[in-house]
């Protein structure tokens, strides 16, 4: 029938913009609690700055590259530069019942938080200027194309039929494997593996977790782009996966010592990341399985990473990368059109082909994001340098990069 604005759908997605925006501060605090006291402000800034940086980039050209008219399935055209032509009428290709500008704005919040996720890899040692440069390049050369492939009208992975409801590939796998690549280039923090690096303020991390969970409802249920049954199902599956993963992680850390607060919080976030691609396609009970499996997967990925002495400091790869790799594949197992008529069935509902598509999409995302990030980081490393000096690292980035002290 075409484009007819629904005030209800518009209301919900306006709210989701607010909820997803909230996730960036939430992430900042989630991360900020885990670093050492001398790097708290620096860590907060690494996330917050994206609200500014991508807030400008997206309006200027990011949205256009991602969602502009398709160019050979690879990238969007420049028609939407400066949000031109992105107005109060719906863009039928993307969302029939809300203003085009609202779709663009909701997508902006995703573009903001994704690179912020990566910062967990290089906190406590990155040079601020190089970080800014890397971030802008990453947003332009990694995020925007990938976003177009998976969600843009005509994008090649979308055409292939990949199911990624709210960003398992575009957001979490991309961030996780980029984090891995960056950590390999920048190298470990001074003293990593020798001195214990105790989190300076776990309550901040716990606060961040709570706000992340709330914001994730906007992220996942908002991806239905309307206030409807699919949104409701996404909200419930999101909650269920997070709940389950938190519980399982608690048990895992209990077995290895004691039921740790940080562990429960981490499990919750892993469950949220894992269910992200699946949330609009699977039932609550399937989400319980997705959450339950994601916890040990990320848990042991973390230990593996530690044994390899790799300082991917706040475990973006283990939590988001591995969590969502599993979630995207699990979508190929558990998806059912009973939940979402616009989706597809997965292996367990008689459609093994979907699983294949999912695996291809995962692999493409991994190779592309890891490879591009490795090259970008390496180029910056050998040119202007990625790290602060050892003395600045000792003093802490709060003072040395920002001239401030936290508390």
C-alpha separations of 264 from 107, 110, 205, 219 in Å: 29, 25, 11, 21
Nearer to its own copies, 47 or 373 (CB): 47
Residue 191 interacting partner from its own copies, another protein, none (CB closer than 5 to 8 Å by kind): another protein
Dihedrals φ, ψ of 155, to 5°? -60, 145
Q: How many residues does the chain have?
A: 407
Per CB under 8 A, contacts with its own copies among 72-111 are 82-83, 87-89, 97-99, 101-102, 104-105, 108
Burial class (CB in 10 A: 0-12, 13-18, 19+), 83: middle
Total residues at interface with another protein (CB under 8 A)? 29
Of 175-183, 232-240, 305-313, 318-326, the window that binds its own copies (rule: CB under 8 A) is 232-240
C-alpha separations of 74 from 2, 77, 281, 292 in Å: 27, 10, 26, 35
Of 3-11, 233-241, 262-270, 281-289, the window that binds another protein (rule: CB under 8 A) is 262-270
Task: State which of residues 140, 153, 228, 260 lies at the interface with another protein (CB under 8 A).
Answer: 260
Residue 256 interacts with another protein (CB under 8 A)? yes
Separation of alpha carbons 48 and 213, rounded Å: 18
Of 73-81, 100-108, 172-180, 388-396, the window that binds another protein (rule: CB under 8 A) is 388-396
CB 381 within 8 Å of CB 347: no
C-alpha separations of 116 from 31, 59, 270 in Å: 10, 18, 16
Residue 49 interacting partner from another protein, its own copies, none (CB closer than 5 to 8 Å by kind): its own copies
Using DSSP's 3-state secondary structure scheme, residue 98 falls into coil
348 to 377: interface string for another protein, x by CB under 8 A: ------------------------------
Residue 354 interacts with its own copies (CB under 8 A)? no
306 to 335: interface string for another protein, x by CB under 8 A: x--------x--------------------
- Shortest separation between residue 195's beta carbon and another protein, angstroms: 5
Nearer to another protein, 108 or 316 (CB): 316
360 to 399: interface string for its own copies, x by CB under 8 A: --------------------------------------x-
Query: Which residue bears the tokens 């367990």?
Result: 348
CA–chain centroid gap for 78, Å, is 25
Separation of alpha carbons 93 and 27, rounded Å: 31
Report CA Rg, the chain. 20
Residue 1 interacts with another protein (CB under 8 A)? no
Separation of alpha carbons 231 and 218, rounded Å: 9
Helix-, strand-, coil-residue percentages of the chain, each rounded to 5: 70, 0, 30
Per CB under 8 A, contacts with another protein among 267-306 are 299-300, 302-303, 306
Closest residue by Cα to residue 76 from 150, 172, 17: 150
Per CB under 8 A, contacts with another protein among 21-50 are 38
Query: Which residue bears the tokens 């008529």?
Result: 341
Residue 243 interacting partner from its own copies, another protein, none (CB closer than 5 to 8 Å by kind): its own copies
CB 314 within 8 Å of CB 121: yes
Our CA dihedral for 150, 156, 162, 165, rounded to 10 degrees, sits at 20
Beta bridge partner(s), residue 91:
95
- Shortest separation between residue 346's beta carbon and its own copies, angstroms: 19
Of 97-105, 164-172, 210-218, 255-263, the window that binds another protein (rule: CB under 8 A) is 255-263
Binding site for another protein (CB under 8 A): 38, 191, 195-196, 198, 252-253, 256-258, 260, 262-263, 266, 299-300, 302-303, 306, 315, 391, 394-396, 399, 402-405
């Amino acid at each position: 029938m075409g484009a007819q604005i629904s005030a209800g759908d518009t209301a919900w997605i306006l709210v989701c913009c607010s909820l997803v925006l909230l996730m960036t501060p939430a992430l900042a605090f989630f991360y900020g609690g885990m670093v050492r006291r001398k790097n708290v402000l620096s860590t907060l800034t690494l996330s917050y700055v994206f609200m500014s940086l991508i807030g400008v980039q997206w309006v200027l050209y990011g949205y256009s590259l991602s969602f502009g008219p398709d160019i050979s399935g690879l990238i969007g055209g420049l028609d939407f530069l400066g949000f031109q032509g992105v107005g109060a009428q719906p863009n039928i290709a993307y969302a029939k019942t809300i203003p085009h500008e609202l779709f663009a704005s909701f997508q902006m919040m995703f573009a903001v938080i994704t690179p912020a996720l990566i910062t967990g890899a290089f906190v406590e040692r990155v040079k601020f200027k190089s970080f800014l440069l890397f971030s802008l390049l990453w947003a332009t050369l990694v995020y925007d194309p990938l976003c177009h492939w998976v969600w843009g009208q005509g994008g090649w992975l979308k055409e292939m039929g990949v199911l990624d409801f709210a960003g398992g590939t575009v957001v979490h796998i991309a961030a996780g494997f980029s984090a891995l690549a960056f950590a390999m280039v920048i190298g470990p923090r001074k003293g990593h593996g020798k001195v214990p690096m105790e989190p300076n303020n776990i309550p901040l991390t716990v606060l961040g977790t709570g706000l992340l969970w709330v914001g994730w409802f906007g992220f996942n249920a908002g991806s239905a782009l309307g206030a409807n049954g699919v949104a409701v199902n996404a909200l419930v599956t999101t909650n269920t996966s997070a709940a389950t993963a938190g519980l399982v992680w608690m048990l895992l850390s209990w077995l290895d010592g004691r039921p740790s607060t940080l562990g429960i919080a981490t499990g919750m976030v892993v469950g949220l990341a894992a269910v992200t691609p699946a949330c609009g396609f699977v039932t609550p009970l399937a989400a319980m399985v997705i959450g339950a499996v994601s916890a040990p997967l990320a848990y042991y990925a973390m230990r593996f990473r530690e044994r390899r002495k790799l300082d991917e400091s706040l475990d973006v790869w283990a939590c988001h990368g591995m969590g969502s790799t599993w979630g995207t594949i699990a979508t190929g197992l558990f998806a059912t059109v009973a939940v979402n008529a616009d989706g597809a069935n997965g292996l367990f509902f008689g459609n093994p082909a979907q699983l294949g598509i999912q695996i291809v999409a995962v692999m493409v995302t991994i190779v592309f994001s890891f490879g591009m990030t490795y090259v970008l980081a390496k180029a910056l490393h050998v040119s202007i340098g990625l790290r602060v000096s050892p003395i600045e690292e000792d003093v802490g980035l709060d003072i040395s990069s920002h001239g401030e002290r936290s508390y």
